[in-house]
Amino acid sequence: MRAAFVFIFGLISIRYLPAQPTTLSGPVEAFTFDAPTRSLRAVIGFPGAASFGPALLDNLDVASVAPRQNYAIVFESEKCLFFSGLGAKLSTAVIEGVTAHPDVIVWSGDGSLAILYSPAGKWLQTIAGFPGAPVAGAVVDVSSLGGSLSAVAADSAGKQIAVAVNGENGAVYQTTVETIGGQFTHLASMAKPVSLSFSSDGQTLYALDAALLQVTAVSLASHGFQTLALPGMTNPVAIQSLQDSQNRPLLYVAGGVDRMLRILDVSSQQKSDVPLHIEPTSLVPFGAASFVITPRSQSANPLWLFASTLEPGAAYFVPAVQLRQSGRKTAAIAERTR
């Protein structure tokens, strides 16, 4: 199959005015934390004509935007902040009870729950109640599960949580927001679970086993499971479940050194492989029907996205944006929230 790539040109470089709300011209695909410039920005336009907008906030340590929402968690100057109104009138509040920077932040599909976690520290922490009144839960030590923490996921409604650990006692576990402090239900054993994804209805958990090169689909009601083989893939790195316009359950599988994205119809087992010219490293929900497949790690790199709305799906990039001395300083805003 021929590669489906759309090359994008043009770059918006509008200076942010701190005293006024930023007005973004053009359709906004989504907001994102741009690590090389330490800023929050919008991706404006459509596949084939997209670019980064101006910095809405900069000088950030870590940040994560809720999928398909205009609010984010921001870590700056040892504070955890909640920013809403991205692209319009910004407002902020301190989220109390968050005392450590996470290595990874994942969100529920509806943006009501965020999970902070650290594979090295073997801990996780939930923040629930977005966007109205986010409240941080207690830090949960997951070292008792054994192995190394490798993946965490939440269902679309922000109620169920899945946790995976690698190693000799590698396994996948389930818990809920209410019981996360004391109860983990064992779902399946596997040596190297590297990615987790709930089905859209929250009834099935998909777990990618990079050792056996397969996906295990676990029914959360019966704990029965189905194995989905990945023939032709040697390096699956991430999965993401999605329903298409016909409500068919689809599973997207990113192949790292394979440089491909597999689209698997779970019901019929039919598959379609989209060749890529880059190595995908993730499948993180972004816009209405797009994923981040390779985030920006260096200033010269573009942001690589995959649009599921284009048949059979297409990878495209958003050109790199260089650091500019613009944007609102979050420390000054946080000072006014005290």
Tell me the pTM.
0.88
Distances from the Cα of 195 to the Cαs of 83, 137, 281, in angstroms?
A: 28, 24, 11
Kindly tell me the burial class for residue 75, based on how many C-beta atoms sit within 10 Å of its own C-beta (0-12, 13-18, 19 or more). Answer: buried
How crowded is the C-beta side of 300, counted as CA atoms within 13 Å? 0
Q: What is the pLDDT of residue 49?
A: 84
Angle at 44 between CA 40 and CA 46, to 5 degrees: 140
Q: Name the β-bridge partners of 186.
A: 173
Could you give the strand order of the β-sheet that contains 249-255, starting from the edge strand earlier in sequence? Answer: 236-243, 249-255, 260-265, 271-275
Structure tokens at 136: 């941080």
Q: Per residue of the chain (338 residues), give pLDDT as tens.
A: 333 333 332 222 222 223 334 556 679 999 999 999 999 999 999 887 899 999 999 999 999 999 999 999 999 888 999 999 999 999 999 999 998 999 999 999 999 999 999 999 999 999 999 999 999 999 999 999 988 999 999 999 999 999 999 988 899 999 999 888 778 999 999 989 999 999 999 999 999 999 999 999 999 999 999 999 999 999 999 999 998 777 889 999 999 999 999 999 998 889 999 999 999 999 999 998 899 999 999 999 999 999 987 767 889 999 998 655 444 444 434 333 33
Q: What is the pLDDT of residue 22?
A: 53
